[in-house]
């Protein structure tokens, strides 16, 4: 069953934002697609190179928002705008509701609020470090004879 959260905002941030907001839980796949869309990974190591945290949060809010006042004060463009955007406190309230509703884990919340140069969560394969040395162990010693293969045809 999809969880729903109703959020009422008074007019302290302006009459434009006052009203009834309805949020619905988004599916796991949608949330992960949003994260992937705004995150760049190193092609070899898989480590996060950069993430647009503001865009991730804005898209999660919009994906969760299923009802708002008739003036439609919340749009993706307004959430992303640095000049004609929404008041900080309104954005924070919308983020809290969307994150709580979508059960963001502590790790995901940290990902959305901290720089991407954090310690990588990707563990190195134990065999990766020994791959370079594998050819050395196959070298024959001076006393060993090459094996002869018997072909039975």
pTM of the predicted structure, to 2 decimals: 0.66
| Structure confidence at residue 121 as a pLDDT band (50, 70, 90) | very low
Question: Which structural domain, as residue segments, surrounds residue 9?
Answer: 4-114
Question: Has residue 57 been placed in a domain?
Answer: yes
Rounded-to-integer distance, Cα 139 and Cα 42, Å: 34
Give the number of domains in the chain: 1
pLDDT tens-digit series, residues 2-56: 899 998 999 999 999 999 999 999 998 999 999 999 999 999 998 999 999 999 9
Contact 31, 102 (CB under 8 A): yes
Question: Has residue 146 been placed in a domain?
Answer: no
Contact 49, 116 (CB under 8 A): yes
Burial class (CB within 10 angstroms; exposed 0-12, middle 13-18, buried 19+) of 84: exposed
DSSP 8-state assignment for residue 141: P
Question: Has residue 126 been placed in a domain?
Answer: no
Question: Has residue 151 been placed in a domain?
Answer: no
Question: Has residue 141 been placed in a domain?
Answer: no
Looking at the predicted structure, is the pLDDT value of residue 123 above 70? no
Q: Which long-range contacts (CB under 8 A, 24 or more apart) does 90-94 make?
A: 90/9, 90/13, 90/17, 93/7, 93/9, 94/7, 94/21, 94/61, 94/65
DSSP 8-state assignment for residue 39: E
Question: Has residue 75 been placed in a domain?
Answer: yes
Question: Has residue 62 been placed in a domain?
Answer: yes
3 state SS of 86: coil
Question: Has residue 132 been placed in a domain?
Answer: no
């Amino acid at each position: 069953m999809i969880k729903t959260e109703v959020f009422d905002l008074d007019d302290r941030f302006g009459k434009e934002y006052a009203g009834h907001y309805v949020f619905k839980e988004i599916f796991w796949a949608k949330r992960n697609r949003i994260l992937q869309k705004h995150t760049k990974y190193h092609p070899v190591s898989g480590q996060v190179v950069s993430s647009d945290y503001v865009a991730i949060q804005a898209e999660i809010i919009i994906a969760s928002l299923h009802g708002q006042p008739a003036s439609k004060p919340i749009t993706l463009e307004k959430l992303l705008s640095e000049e004609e955007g929404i008041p900080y406190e309104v954005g924070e309230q919308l983020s809290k509701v969307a994150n709580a509703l979508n059960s963001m884990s502590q790790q995901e919340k940290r990902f959305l609020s901290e720089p991407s140069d954090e310690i990588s969560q990707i563990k190195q394969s134990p065999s990766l470090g020994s791959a370079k040395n594998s050819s050395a162990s196959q070298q024959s010693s001076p006393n060993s004879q090459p094996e002869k293969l018997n072909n039975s045809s």
